[in-house]
């Protein structure tokens, strides 16, 4: 049974940093797309960052987080992390990790991701 689990959320002041991790069980990150999404209260869920877990590991970021967030993978730990720096109050949201089966295109289309974590809350105060 495949499970995807997020960790690392919390509360921080504006300008601070947090690191989220996405661990998988029953599933190995290999040549597949892993993405972070977020959903703020009253807003639609949006893609934040994604990575294709091949050797070249191309990444993509939403404009709102480009230059502040970094997505990376750790093959030994079978995790994908999201380093979030220079956090802003508008980054406050529930953050979700999602994983796609191998060799699927890597986009922010939610229908491509059958495996989702339960989410971790990130709160940024001004």
Nearest to 2 by CA among 27, 22, 23, 21: 27
Q: What is the pLDDT of residue 51?
A: 96
Q: Is the pLDDT of residue 109 over 80?
A: yes
Nearest to 106 by CA among 56, 67, 70, 65: 56
The 3-state DSSP class for residue 89 equals: helix
Lookup: tokens for 32:
């597949």
The CA distance from 15 to 8, in Å, is 17
Any idea which residue has 């599933």 for tokens? 27
- Let me know how long the chain is: 126
Q: What is the pLDDT of residue 69?
A: 98
Encode pLDDT of 32-69 as tens digits.
999 999 999 999 999 999 999 887 779 999 999 999 99
CA angle 122, 93, 41 (to 5 degrees): 140
Any idea which residue has 């992390």 for tokens? 81
Encode pLDDT of 89-102 as tens digits.
999 999 999 999 98
């Amino acid at each position: 049974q495949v499970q995807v689990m997020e960790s690392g959320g919390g509360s921080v002041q504006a300008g601070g940093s947090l690191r989220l991790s996405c661990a998988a069980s029953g599933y190995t990150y290999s040549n597949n797309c892993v993405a972070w999404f977020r959903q703020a209260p009253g807003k639609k869920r949006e893609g934040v960052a994604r990575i294709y877990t091949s050797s070249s590991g191309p990444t993509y970021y939403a404009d709102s987080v480009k230059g502040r967030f970094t997505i990376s993978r750790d093959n030994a730990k079978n995790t994908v992390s999201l380093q979030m720096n220079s956090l802003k109050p508008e980054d406050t949201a529930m953050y979700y990790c999602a994983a796609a089966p191998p060799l699927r295109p890597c986009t922010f289309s939610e229908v491509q991701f059958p495996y989702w974590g339960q989410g971790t809350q990130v709160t940024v105060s001004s």
